[in-house]
């Protein structure tokens, strides 16, 4: 018996009881001449008490039915909210697809690498008169092959960017190792939905196969070695620190070659994700590229032409693989608002 049937039955019983005992009260005496309660008085008293219980039960059922209706309404409202939230999430994800990804990288080149010494010495000797001419000439003037520079307020050159077309850039034949380091760098980004340990990442584990290896949910690669990209790679020289940086900028990752599990299809999916960064050199042997010991200074990642996500050295956690390579880790915030706030 459901609550509606029970409620209807109790209401009719209550009406009948009230009517019956009301008639009884009119037709009988509650007390005799000695003031004692008569049989009919006792029956009426029991009837009044029973009627009260029936009224209380009726009220309880009405309250229970009201609560059931309220709970059902709240559950329906919650289901509607969740359905609308899922719909809005899908719309939001479709409006923010993970496409047209371009990146720029600033990669530290160690000054103590012996096979780069000859190139570094030649570069320093040849760039010195060029910098002197830049400081003596009109502000903003840059010789052929110098694609960028920085100065202080007095006009002193603090740093220069040297493009592929400059004679200062490593010579592919005479300085093959330096050329391979600066022109042959590639950067791989590995995204995981759930955080993993570095030793469980196939590319960093040093193992061909193991049960504990976890494939990335998304892998992107960026190459700075294609001459058709123009000045996508430069040698960045800091005059004051006498240091060298390989600068790869504005290079796009071809979506055709992405390896994806389908868990990253939108900018929104970066919430709470783990990103690992690995460096490779397309033109250097396995042993040589580890000895070069390059390091990430800064990464800028642009998605669908929006402003870039910037990852600076202080926000990246540096790890070492068993074979000596540098691997960098970044954990995205679990709130999309925080990720959006980092766009520059």
The rounded distance, in Å, linking the Cα atoms of 7 and 5 is 5
Residues recorded for the chain = 344
Q: How far apart are alpha carbons 104 and 232 in whole angstroms?
A: 9
Distance in angstroms (rounded) separating the CA atoms of residues 56 and 185: 83
Backbone angles phi, psi at 128, to 5 degrees: -60, -50
CA distances from 288 to 138, 159, 234, 276 (A): 43, 28, 21, 22
Which residue is associated with the tokens 């642009």? 302
Count other C-beta atoms under 10 Å from residue 2's C-beta: 8
Whole-model pTM: value is 0.71
Contact 313, 305 (CB under 8 A): no
Q: What is the pLDDT of residues 87-120, one digit of tens each?
A: 555 556 655 788 889 999 999 998 888 889 999 9
Q: How far is CA 269 from the centre of its chain?
A: 6
Sign of CA dihedral 112, 118, 121, 122: negative
Q: The dihedral of CA 279, 280, 284, 286: what is its sign?
A: positive
pLDDT by 10s per residue, the chain, length 344 = 565 665 566 555 666 666 565 555 555 655 666 666 666 666 666 766 666 676 666 777 777 777 777 887 777 777 767 655 655 555 566 557 888 899 999 999 988 888 899 999 999 999 999 888 888 877 666 777 787 788 888 888 899 999 888 899 999 899 988 998 888 888 999 999 999 999 999 888 877 676 789 999 999 999 876 544 455 788 999 999 999 999 988 888 888 899 999 999 888 899 999 999 998 765 555 455 445 678 899 999 988 766 789 999 999 999 988 777 889 999 999 988 888 877 76
CA atoms lying within 13 Å on the CB side of residue 126 = 15
Tokens of 85: 């939230």
Confidence at residue 289, expressed as pLDDT on a 0 to 100 scale = 47
Calpha distance 292→111 (Å, rounded): 10
């Amino acid at each position: 018996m459901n609550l509606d049937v029970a409620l209807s039955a109790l209401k009719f019983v209550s009406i009948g009881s009230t009517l019956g005992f009301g008639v009884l009260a009119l037709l009988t005496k509650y007390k005799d001449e000695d003031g004692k309660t008569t049989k009919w008085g006792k029956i009426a008293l029991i009837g009044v008490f029973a009627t009260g219980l029936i009224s209380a039960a009726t009220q309880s059922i009405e309250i229970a039915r009201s609560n059931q209706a309220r709970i059902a309404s709240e559950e329906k409202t919650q289901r509607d909210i969740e359905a609308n939230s899922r719909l809005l999430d899908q719309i939001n994800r479709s409006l923010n697809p993970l496409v047209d990804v371009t990146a720029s990288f600033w990669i530290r080149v160690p000054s103590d690498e012996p096979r780069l010494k000859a190139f570094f010495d030649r570069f320093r000797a040849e760039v010195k008169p060029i910098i002197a001419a830049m400081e003596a000439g009109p502000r903003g003037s840059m010789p052929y092959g110098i694609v960028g520079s920085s100065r202080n307020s007095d006009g002193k050159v603090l740093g220069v960017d040297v493009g592929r077309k400059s004679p200062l850039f490593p010579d592919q034949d005479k300085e093959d190792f330096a050329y391979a380091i600066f022109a042959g760098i590639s950067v791989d980004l590995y995204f995981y939905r759930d955080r993993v340990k570095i030793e469980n990442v196939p590319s960093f584990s040093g193992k061909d196969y193991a049960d504990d290896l976890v494939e990335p949910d998304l892998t992107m690669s960026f190459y700075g070695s294609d001459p058709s990209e123009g000045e996508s790679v430069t040698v960045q020289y800091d005059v004051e620190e006498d240091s060298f940086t390989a600068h790869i900028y504005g290079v796009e990752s071809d979506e055709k070659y992405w390896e994806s599990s389908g868990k990253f299809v939108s900018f929104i999916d970066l919430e709470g994700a783990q990103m690992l960064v690995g460096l490779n050199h397309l033109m250097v042997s396995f042993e040589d590229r580890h000895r070069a010991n390059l390091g990430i200074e800064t990464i800028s990642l642009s998605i669908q032409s929006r402003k870039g996500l910037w990852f600076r050295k202080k926000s990246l956690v540096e790890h070492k693989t068993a074979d000596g390579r540098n691997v960098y880790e970044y954990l995205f915030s679990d709130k999309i608002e925080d990720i959006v706030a980092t766009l520059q």
